[in-house]
């Protein structure tokens, strides 16, 4: 299979023996994540994207996965992927591959506003809609992806982050919960979900339900432009520390990212798994990958090769792992761009926050006519 000629990348032929780290990987962990996707592939087939991997092509592998036990050993799982898929290297026409990391924050909060918890996490209002392809966009910025539907049926821009921080949604009863600061809320928005440890007792999970529709802007760029940090230093942990240490400037900097996220309450059926994400399945720490949904079909296996920083930053740790495309994100743009889900809480934050690394991506494309071993 090769990509259409108008795409920003090509799919090059390769073999499993050429994937560095393929043999040593824990394919059983990847199989468990793919098996969760398999149920979704059969019940809600994904939309085929420009690289051409269709739901119909994925279906035989999905059926075969569901016919196997939930847990396979590593050798059996490796054989499964080698039987049902063939590797195709993503070769960008410009630049190279790049990977970042994300996680599910776990933070204190409350159902009620208080001096300790003054900042709201908002539910999606009924008038916020994703702009349909056929909509009249004559009065809208072409960059908008969501908008407010007026009573007359027309569309208008929804308040952006700065407007919401100034109170644009106050009084509408949209508050699901409250957290300690706008910085805390900002990182919940960027990650797209959170577990909130309620002061009243218990844990509330919130997950993505909608967004203001304004383009995502990486606010670390502001600090780089101000000369406050170098591009290579602009990791999430450094950015967060600056925002917390500079409250007088932080609000204006965060408002530069006009994209504002709305949430819904979601259950936590399995503490070991992350939230149900864009592909409709719960995320698996270290095995779920966010991709550009405009280019990639959800649920496709992707082998990621990169080198991550160790705990001290002085050591390099190879990351060579089979992952499943189960999520997306506003900042995940391009054919060789991925975001690794590391899990929930502080340990996952420490892993994800410093990931900004070159990477190589290989799609596992379904084989045609495979009937299994």
Tell me, yes or no, whether 52 lies in a domain: yes
Region class of 11: left (phi > 0), else alpha (psi between -120 and 50), else beta:
beta
Read off the pLDDT of residues 99-113 as tens digits, 9 standing for 90 and up. Answer: 999 999 999 999 999
- Distance (Å, rounded) from C-alpha 284 to C-alpha 103? 11
Q: In the chain, how many domains are there?
A: 2
Question: Are 193 and 251 members of one domain?
Answer: yes
Question: Are 86 and 67 members of one domain?
Answer: yes
Is residue 2 over pLDDT 90?
A: no
Question: Are 127 and 224 members of one domain?
Answer: yes
Tell me, yes or no, whether 4 lies in a domain: no
Is residue 141 over pLDDT 60?
A: yes
- Tell me what the pLDDT averaged over the chain comes to: 92
Question: Are 97 and 206 members of one domain?
Answer: no
Helix (H, G, I), strand (E, B) or coil at 257: coil
Tell me, yes or no, whether 42 lies in a domain: yes
Helix (H, G, I), strand (E, B) or coil at 231: helix
Question: Are 125 and 249 members of one domain?
Answer: yes
Instruction: Among 266, 282, 298, give the residue marking a domain's end.
Output: 266
Instruction: Among 266, 298, 332, give the residue marking a domain's end.
Output: 266
Domain containing residue 353: CATH number = 2.40.40.10
Q: What is the DSSP letter of 16?
A: G
Read off the pLDDT of residues 25-59 as tens digits, 9 standing for 90 and up. Answer: 999 999 999 999 999 999 999 998 988 899 899 99
Helix (H, G, I), strand (E, B) or coil at 11: strand
Phi, psi values for residue 289, rounded to 5°: -125, 130
Instruction: Among 266, 286, 305, give the residue marking a domain's end.
Output: 266
Kindly give the pairing relationship between strand 316-327 and strand 288-290: parallel
- Label residue 368 by pLDDT band (50, 70, 90): confident
What's the domain range around 126?
104-266
Question: Are 45 and 84 members of one domain?
Answer: yes
Question: Are 82 and 45 members of one domain?
Answer: yes
Q: What is the DSSP letter of 188?
A: H
Region class of 199: left (phi > 0), else alpha (psi between -120 and 50), else beta:
alpha
**What is the per-residue pLDDT for 44?**
95
Question: Are 283 and 261 members of one domain?
Answer: no
Read off the pLDDT of residues 282-317 as tens digits, 9 standing for 90 and up. Answer: 999 999 999 999 999 999 999 999 998 765 556 778
Report the chain's terminal Cα–Cα distance, integer Å: 22
Question: Are 95 and 232 members of one domain?
Answer: no
Read off the pLDDT of residues 190-227 as tens digits, 9 standing for 90 and up. Answer: 999 999 999 999 999 999 999 999 999 999 999 999 89
**What is the per-residue pLDDT for 230?**
87
**What is the per-residue pLDDT for 51?**
86
**What is the per-residue pLDDT for 370?**
47
Tell me, yes or no, whether 211 lies in a domain: yes
Strands, sheet with 203-211, edge to edge from the N-terminal-most edge strand: 106-109, 193-198, 203-211, 261-266
pTM greater than 0.75: yes
């Amino acid at each position: 299979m090769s990509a259409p000629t108008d795409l920003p990348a090509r799919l090059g032929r390769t073999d499993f023996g050429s994937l560095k780290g393929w043999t040593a990987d824990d394919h059983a962990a990847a199989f468990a994540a793919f098996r969760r996707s398999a149920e979704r592939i059969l019940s809600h087939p994904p939309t085929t994207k420009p690289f051409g991997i269709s739901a119909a092509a994925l279906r035989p592998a999905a059926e075969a996965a569901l016919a196997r036990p939930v847990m396979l050993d590593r050798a059996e799982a490796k054989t499964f992927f080698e039987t049902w898929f063939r590797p195709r290297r993503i070769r960008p026409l410009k630049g190279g591959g790049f990977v970042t990391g994300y996680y599910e924050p776990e933070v204190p909060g409350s159902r009620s506003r208080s001096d300790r918890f003054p900042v709201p996490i908002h539910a999606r209002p009924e008038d916020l809609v994703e702009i349909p392809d056929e909509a009249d966009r004559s009065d809208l910025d072409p960059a908008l992806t969501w908008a407010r539907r007026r009573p007359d049926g027309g569309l208008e821009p929804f308040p952006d982050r700065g407007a919401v921080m100034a109170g644009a949604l106050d009084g509408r009863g949209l508050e699901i919960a409250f957290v300690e600061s706008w910085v805390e809320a900002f990182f919940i928005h960027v990650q797209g979900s959170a577990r909130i440890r309620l002061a009243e007792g218990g844990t509330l999970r919130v997950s993505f339900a909608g967004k203001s529709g304004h383009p995502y802007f990486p606010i670390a760029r502001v600090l780089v432009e101000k000369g406050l940090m170098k591009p290579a230093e602009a990791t999430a942990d450094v950015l967060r520390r600056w925002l917390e240490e500079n409250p007088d400037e932080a609000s204006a900097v965060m408002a530069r990212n006009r994209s504002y996220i709305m949430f819904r309450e979601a259950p936590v059926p399995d503490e070991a798994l992350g939230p149900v994400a864009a592909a409709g399945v719960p995320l698996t720490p270290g095995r779920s990958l966010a991709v550009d949904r405009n280019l990639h079909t959800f649920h496709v296996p992707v082998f990621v090769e990169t080198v991550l920083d160790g705990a001290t930053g002085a050591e390099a740790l190879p990351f060579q792992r089979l992952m499943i495309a189960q999520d997306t994100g506003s900042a995940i743009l391009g054919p060789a761009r991925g975001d690794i889900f590391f899990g929930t809480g502080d340990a996952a934050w420490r892993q994800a926050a410093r990931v900004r690394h070159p990477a190589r991506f290989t799609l596992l494309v379904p084989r045609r006519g495979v009937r299994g071993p």
